[in-house]
Amino acid sequence: MSLSPELIPLAVGTALALVALIVVLGPLMSGEDSSSELTPSAPRKVANGDGTAIQALREIEFDKATGKLSDKDYDALRTMYTRDALSELRAADASEVGEFVGVGSATDDLVEAAIRRAKKNQQDCSSCGAHPEPDAAYCSSCGHYLAGSCAACGTAVEVAGARFCVGCGEGLAAA
């Protein structure tokens, strides 16, 4: 029995479809339980090899969003890795500060020092009193030149938005 040339592609397509069906349905029909791969007792390695609980939490969130984890597995893994992530964060904070964050005066001293540095670096506009960005040359509210005077000759700059000194012609700020 020979196949006509019109039926050959149909026969090949049918054979490929049957093979694909067997490959896809084979694990379902075999009865093996593959859910044991995602149990909390056997945590997976993080893809980037980092191994941190925070990275594992990100991966778990992604797997849940893409439908790879059931609600039960997601809750169990999230609970376990959240606990581990909190421990990691507390340990990192304690090693940076020297003691547990939120307790003691060392943390307060660090915060106060940061506030003092920020206030020292902050410029106030002498014209309108606004607090522009730290690296600004001109006030973002009124356009006043924040340095107040020309660096080359010392002439006061009183015109809002002035790009050049009226005394010496020197450029006030990079355009």
- Considering only CA atoms, which of 45, 47, 54, 44 is closest in space to residue 92? 54
Contacts for 36 with CB less than 8 Å, ≥ 6 apart = 42
Residues 6+ apart with CB under 8 A from 154: 167
pLDDT digits (tens, 9 = 90+) for 93-151: 777 665 544 455 667 778 888 888 777 767 777 777 766 676 777 777 787 777 778 87
* pLDDT tens string 10-52: 999 999 999 999 999 988 887 766 555 555 444 444 444 445 8
In percent, the amount of the chain with pLDDT more than 90 equals 13
DSSP per-residue letters across 7-33: THHHHHHHHHHHHHHHHHHHHHHH---
- Per the confidence metrics, is the pTM higher than 0.75? no
